[in-house]
Amino acid sequence: MKKSPLIALCLAASALTGGVAHAEVIAINQPALPLTEARISTLPDDQQAVWRAYLLRSRLQMEIDRQSLPAELAPGQTPPPPPVAAGGGSKTMPLDQPARWYRSAEARAIADTIVSFQTPAGGWSKNQDRTGPPRLPGQRYANDAETMAQDPANFDAPTDRFWTFVGSLDNDATTTEMRFLQHVAAALPRADGDVYRASFVRGVEYLLAAQYPNGGWPQNWPLEGGFHDGITFNDNAVAKAASLLGEVAQQDQYDFVPQRLRQQAGIAVQKGIDLILAAQVRRDGALLGWPQQVDPLTLEPISARNYEPRSIASGETTDILEFLMSRPDPTPEIRAAIEGGIAWLKSAAVRGYAWERVGNEGRKLFPREGAGPLWSRNYDIVTGQPIFGDKDRTIHDDVNNISEGRRNGYSWWVTQPQRALDAYEDWRK
């Protein structure tokens, strides 16, 4: 696939000038809006009640989660320190072991730690090492925030530095814990597995409770505000929640889940698919790709962290296309979404350039005959051209011109869309 004329021109200018002379700051990233009562009041009258009920449920659950910790302590008892700083995450919960391994003491110890860190809401926090010891009474469900600085200019600064991502779909949280528990429960079909089955069922209830009225899922639930309230395609959060609920609704291995929840799970999956279709970016009537996240009320693309601008995102588009292509008996609407997304990925591919380390300068984009295809991580919603963010909120048209730390600390040019293109060739047959 040939480069578009504008992409080719930008890349050529960057290569010839070292990425400086013709590069521009083209915009300043704007923060995403949280879900609030004031915003809900702008909806049509017949839609407001269900959203207000959702917001109230979230606030009540947040209070229940918070109060659960002091309730575990004796009067005057000092709470234990929080878990060790983030690390491990899904890698500490392997899902690809032989069935017999999940009966082992090692697997059961991981499962016991997982159960101990489940929040009253039924979810789990991200990036936690599940090979560590179980949670102690009064110990927090998550470690301190990744950024402890109280900086209003930082979109990622939490409202509470000591309570964040407590219940999350970010970085494969919650769905990975649930899948690991299911493996252990399947290996322990009798009473020994009941505690893990019960924990899994609470996870199903969590996913159902966290789903927005329109079918999307926020990054964190209970809601924490900011971009975390956005419907999150990043880390494949929406599709992974929908996929797991789809299995719960249809597969016999989940027959321990109450039938009413399995029925609700099936409904939730269809709502999730409808949301995915509604959130696909359109330009001049053409279906394109998907953003990293969208506003829960308007479904408009929104920003995330300071350096993550609203955009069409090639990685998230890849994940969503793979999910849609996995659906049995796709509807005409699903087929149209797939065809549009694939056509957009093909049009956005760049060949003849490499994204690699250059001496002591870190990673840069530079010409290399026969290299590619590559895709930019983010594309401007209006122009369709690659865009790149920096920590100071500036948005650039040239990756080589952003700060070295941010240039090396993020995957600005990626190859995974080729997975979707390869899968499409099999799907269309």
Residues annotated catalytic, as ranges: 171, 305
CA distance 413 to 364: 10
CA distance 185 to 103: 9
Are 182 and 253 in contact by the 8 Å Cβ rule? The answer is yes
CA torsion 316-387-154-240 (nearest 10°) is 0
Strands 231-232 and 282-283: unpaired
Are 187 and 140 in contact by the 8 Å Cβ rule? The answer is no
**Phi then psi for 168, rounded to 5 degrees?**
-155, 155
Judged by DSSP in three states, 97 sits in coil
Can you name the residues that pair with 282 across neighbouring β-strands? 287
CA distance 81 to 221: 23
Token readout for 385 is 């051209």
Q: Which long-range contacts (CB under 8 A, 24 or more apart) does 39-42 make?
A: 39/297, 40/297, 42/297
